[in-house]
């Protein structure tokens, strides 16, 4: 039996949440931002929230305001976000209602929460993955009690998302301490259960062998609390995943913008109202001996609390527009080149080995660092041998394979980083990044900004890229323009071994998400003309800051003075094409290797363009709508007064993909002869 104190506290939160929902409805002109409330879901949410501790993590979804209050958050804190106020403790006015993030020491922690339904399952599972590793490696505080678990809250409609399946698969495979709470109200916006799915989450979970399952009537507080007690006890002691499926009524709207009268019949609303959790808990309290006067006083106090909080939130200051660009990135500590780039007697190494050695040094120095992805584990060490021997040296718990789950590989890093780990992950080929894009865009890139700086995602994502050896339409693509359309990530593209090692180290120490594009054709310098990618290996302390371009070939002062020089701005394989083409124009060509595509070294670009007045931007990507064309436009816009000729752009032909046949591949990519002709054209101006 639950104590009357517990029941009365739950009732207080419940009627407060319902009072808040009523205030929002009565003040629609003020609460103009789209929002959802927990009306009908209060019992299961409060039952979950009351069992969370400050040691735990939880990931709510967009109608979990009752859960938030049961976990210790105040109505006014939620309302400040509802009204997008400057003092919103979660996002500083950047995000919707009930999209929280918190590091408060006296409450369970919440990483950045997105709106995309079901997407939180992967980052939340990443937190559980981190907790398991930290516990096993002694990285959690001594004597931590109770042991932390993760609560991930979902709507039943979101369980049809493939990324929920990826999360469940990984959680069961690795036996992670996480509770997936599925609140099933029978609706997916305007679609009913019968329209969009053949089974509920509890039935669906039958296909996930090893997932402990519970279900309850989520409108009854006592049953909900006892079910979740069981779930939390199992996750805390067994350190294994649990699914709780709770049926609940939907008494409010889907959101304030998609209102119930738009799509629900009177009969449906009436049926749902019969399961309202408030009258049920009220009757339970009366039967337990709580006086009617006590309940009336509780209800009056709840209404007053909500009204007072709302008024204070309305009066709170709005955000200062001058702060709108804050927290896109967290400040990086690596701002200057340091360490030995060319130690005495250092041997030349291949790019692939420079990357391997950089990660080996990182893993040796940082127990919080892990490496995982497809085929990077002990047996193969990466399909390009880019992780060879690392599992043998550091163990399968730190270097391991994942399933073919690009979304999980990418998205789990958000949770790992939030919990204090520093993941390095790999997607096997650039062409297969797209299943991970949802997590990259929705969760990773926005986390620092929408959490108001609380949760930057410290991760390195390695992606082998570029055309090489007839890899063809699904193994030789270039994706930098697509990546660069995402705000909130950094993109690095080294062209030689020394840069690879220095940039890899800087990427690891950067507190933001960094993508390392690693050209397969430069890994072993087997492509004719790329022997220069092998370089003396820098020392372990060498770091090269992101956003610093390099001048890899200089034009003569005489040609610059005479106006008979040009600059080629390029990166990756383009550096070696440019070098070969420049041999026909002694002293007339200067080559800039960007090394980092974002942040971009605009100072170096502007200075070089100003000095020469003639520019060729060279890329391996298809030319149309590319990063290279965008860069050419920016050069024209910012440096037009110094240009002696239109900025030229060269890239691959605009075919949908790279052909397999080597002759076709060569015909698609810029040839040295074609580059020479373009140089000659520019010099003729």
Q: Would you give the distance in Å from CA 121 to the centre of its chain? A: 12
Longest dimension (CA), the chain: 98
**How many angstroms separate the CA atoms of 45 and 56, rounded?**
16
Kindly state the tokens that stand for 236: 């805390």
Strand partners, 615: 567
Beta partners for 180?
A: 152, 243
Q: Tell which residue, 388, 668, 349, has the closest CA to residue 499.
A: 349
Helix and strand totals (H; E) in the chain: 27, 21
Q: What is the distance between the alpha carbons of residues 283 and 423, in angstroms, rounded to a whole number?
A: 51
Least Cα distance to 678 among 622, 631, 608, 614 occurs for 614
Task: Say how many C-beta atoms besides its own lie within 10 A of residue 484's C-beta.
Answer: 19
Please report how the helices 627-639 and 602-612 are oriented relative to each other, as an axis angle in degrees rounded to 10.
60
Which of 35, 41, 475, 559 is flagged as catalytic? 475
What's the CA angle centered on 592, arms 590 and 596, to 5 degrees? 180
The single-letter DSSP state of residue 515 is: E
Helix (H, G, I), strand (E, B) or coil at 224: helix
Strands 596-598 and 490-492: antiparallel
Q: Is 475 a catalytic residue?
A: yes
Interior/surface letters 138-174, b for 16+ CB within 10 angstroms, e for the rest: eebeeeeeebbbbbbbbbbbbbbbebbbbbbbbbbeb
How far, in Å, are 21, 25, 43, 275 from residue 39 at the CA level? 7, 12, 10, 11
Closest by CA position to 472, among listed 658, 656, 653, 654: 658
* CA dist., res. 68 & res. 89, Å (int): 13
* CB 161 within 8 Å of CB 202: no
Indicate which residues carry an active-site annotation: 475
């Amino acid at each position: 039996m639950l104590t009357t104190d517990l029941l009365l506290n739950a009732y207080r939160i419940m009627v407060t949440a319902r009072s808040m929902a009523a205030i929002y409805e009565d003040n629609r002109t003020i609460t103009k931002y789209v929002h959802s409330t927990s009306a009908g879901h209060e019992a299961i949410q409060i039952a979950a929230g009351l069992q969370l501790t400050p040691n735990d993590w939880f990931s709510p979804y967009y109608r979990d305001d009752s859960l938030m209050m049961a976990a210790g958050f105040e109505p006014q804190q939620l309302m400040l976000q509802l009204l997008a106020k400057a003092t919103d403790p979660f996002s500083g006015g950047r995000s919707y209602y009930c999209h929280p993030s918190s590091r408060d020491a006296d409450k369970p922690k919440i990483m950045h929460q997105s709106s995309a339904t079901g997407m939180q399952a992967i980052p939340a599972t990443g937190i559980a993955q981190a907790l398991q590793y930290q516990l096993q490696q002694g990285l959690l505080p001594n004597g931590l009690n109770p042991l932390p678990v993760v609560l991930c809250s979902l709507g039943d409609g979101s369980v049809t998302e493939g990324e929920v399946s990826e999360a469940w698969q990984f959680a069961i495979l690795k036996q992670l301490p996480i509770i997936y709470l599925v609140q099933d109200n029978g609706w997916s916006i305007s679609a009913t259960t019968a329209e969009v799915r053949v089974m509920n989450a509890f039935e669906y979970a039958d296909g996930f062998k090893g997932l402990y399952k519970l279900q309850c009537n989520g409108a009854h507080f006592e049953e909900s609390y006892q079910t979740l007690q069981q779930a939390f006890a199992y996750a805390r002691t067994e350190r294994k995943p649990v699914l709780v499926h709770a049926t609940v009524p939907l008494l409010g709207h889907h959101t304030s913008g998609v209102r119930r009268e738009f799509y629900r019949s009177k009969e449906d609303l009436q049926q749902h109202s019969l399961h309202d959790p408030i009258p049920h808990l009220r009757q339970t309290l009366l039967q337990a001996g709580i006086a009617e006067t006590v309940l009336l006083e509780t209800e009056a106090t709840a209404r007053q609390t909500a009204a007072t909080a709302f008024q204070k939130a309305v009066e709170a200051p709005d955000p200062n527009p001058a702060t709108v660009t804050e927290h896109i990135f967290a400040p990086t500590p690596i701002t200057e080149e340091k360490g030995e780039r060319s130690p005495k007697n250092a041997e030349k190494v291949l790019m692939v080995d420079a990357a391997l050695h950089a990660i080996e040094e990182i893993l040796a120095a940082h127990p919080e660092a892990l490496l995982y992805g497809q085929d990077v584990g002990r047996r193969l060490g990466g399909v390009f041998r880019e992780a060879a021997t690392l599992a043998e040296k550091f163990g399968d718990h730190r270097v391991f394979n994942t399933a073919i789950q690009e979304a999980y590989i990418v998205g789990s890093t958000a949770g790992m980083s939030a919990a204090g780990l520093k993941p390095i992950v790999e997607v096997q080929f650039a062409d297969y990044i797209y299943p991970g894009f949802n997590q990259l865009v929705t969760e990773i890139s926005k986390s620092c900004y929408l959490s108001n700086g609380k949760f930057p995602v410290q991760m390195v994502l390695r992606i082998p890229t570029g055309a090489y050896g007839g890899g063809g339409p699904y193994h030789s693509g270039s994706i930098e323009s697509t990546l660069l359309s995402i705000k909130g990530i950094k993109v690095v593209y080294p062209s030689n071994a020394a840069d690879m090692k220095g940039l890899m180290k800087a990427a690891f120490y950067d507190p933001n998400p960094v993508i390392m594009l690693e050209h397969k054709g430069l890994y072993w310098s087997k492509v004719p003309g790329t022997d220069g990618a092998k370089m003396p290996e820098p020392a372990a302390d060498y770091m090269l800051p992101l956003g610093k371009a390099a001048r890899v070939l200089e034009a003569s002062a005489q040609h610059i003075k005479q106006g008979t020089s040009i600059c080629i701005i390029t990166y990756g394989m383009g550096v070696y094409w440019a070098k070969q083409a420049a041999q026909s124009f002694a002293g007339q060509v200067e080559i800039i290797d960007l090394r980092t595509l974002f942040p971009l070294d605009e100072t170096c670009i502007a200075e070089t363009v100003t000095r020469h007045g003639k520019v060729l931007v060279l890329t391996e990507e298809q030319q149309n709508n590319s990063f290279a064309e965008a860069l050419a436009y920016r050069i024209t816009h910012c440096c037009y007064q110094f240009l002696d000729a239109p900025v030229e752009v060269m890239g691959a032909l605009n075919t949908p993909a790279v052909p397999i046949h080597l002759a076709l591949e060569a015909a698609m990519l810029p040839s040295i002869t074609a580059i020479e002709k373009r140089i000659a054209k520019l010099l003729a101006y």
